[in-house]
């Protein structure tokens, strides 16, 4: 059976542990293949926010791409994927997506995801938000396939640790991508 492909992108905003949580949950879905691309800012954030080396982080995915390789498979609309998750998503990345400025693989894959109308989840990270940030996200939120999903803590799940919080937010992210997670606590 051919696996479903999902693109996970990491940009240079705080939240690299959320990408780790998403990929660990995705690994439990043996019918999915994780395709990873990381911006240079994302690499820096991984070094600051996780205890993983870059190679260990990349090993959480099935396939990892160089962000400079705009000719990689995920840059083509004919390469079928289920969609893309940018976690975390910096405002620089939001601006690049908004403007269609595809000067690297992450932005090109985002452009392809939009034009092919595949599920596209942006886990946006910034506070406070400027009018420019809000304009860019408001425009993108109007696109049929785009979900803007800031990683907001849900206290009803009664988290006991940061790991609990990351797991719940990762469950929300994957739920928005149409991927059901065992043990994801919903509001009753």
| CA 102 to the chain's CA centroid | 17
* Consecutive 10-residue averages of pLDDT for the chain (188 residues): 94 98 96 98 98 98 98 98 98 98 97 98 97 98 98 92 95 96 79
Q: Give yes or no for a contact between 42 and 20, defined as CB atoms under 8 angstroms apart.
A: no
Q: Which of 34, 18, 19 is nearest to 81 (CA)?
A: 34
What is the tens place of the pLDDT at every residue in 33-42? Answer: 999 999 999 9
Q: What angle do CA 30, 113, 70 make, to 5 degrees?
A: 95
DSSP reduced 3-state for 30: coil
For the whole model, what pTM was predicted?
A: 0.96
Closest to 4 in 3D by CA, of 25, 23, 32: 32
């Amino acid at each position: 059976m051919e696996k479903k492909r999902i693109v996970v992108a990491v940009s240079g905003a705080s939240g690299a542990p959320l990408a780790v949580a998403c990929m660990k949950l995705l690994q439990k879905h043996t019918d999915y293949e994780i395709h990873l691309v990381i911006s240079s800012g994302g690499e820096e954030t991984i070094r600051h926010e996780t205890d993983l080396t870059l190679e260990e982080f990349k090993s959480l995915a099935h396939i990892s791409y160089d962000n400079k390789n705009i000719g990689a498979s995920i840059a083509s609309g004919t390469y079928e994927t289920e969609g893309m998750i940018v976690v975390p998503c910096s405002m620089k990345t939001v601006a690049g997506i908004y403007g269609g400025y595809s000067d690297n693989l992450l932005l090109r894959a985002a452009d392809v995801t939009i034009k092919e109308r595949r599920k596209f989840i942006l886990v946006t990270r910034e506070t406070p938000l400027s009018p420019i940030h809000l304009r860019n996200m408001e425009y993108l939120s109007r696109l049929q396939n785009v979900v803007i999903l800031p990683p907001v803590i849900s206290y009803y799940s009664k988290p006991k640790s940061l790991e609990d919080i990351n797991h719940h937010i990762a469950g929300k992210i994957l739920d928005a991508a149409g991927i059901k997670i065992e043990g994801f606590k919903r509001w009753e």
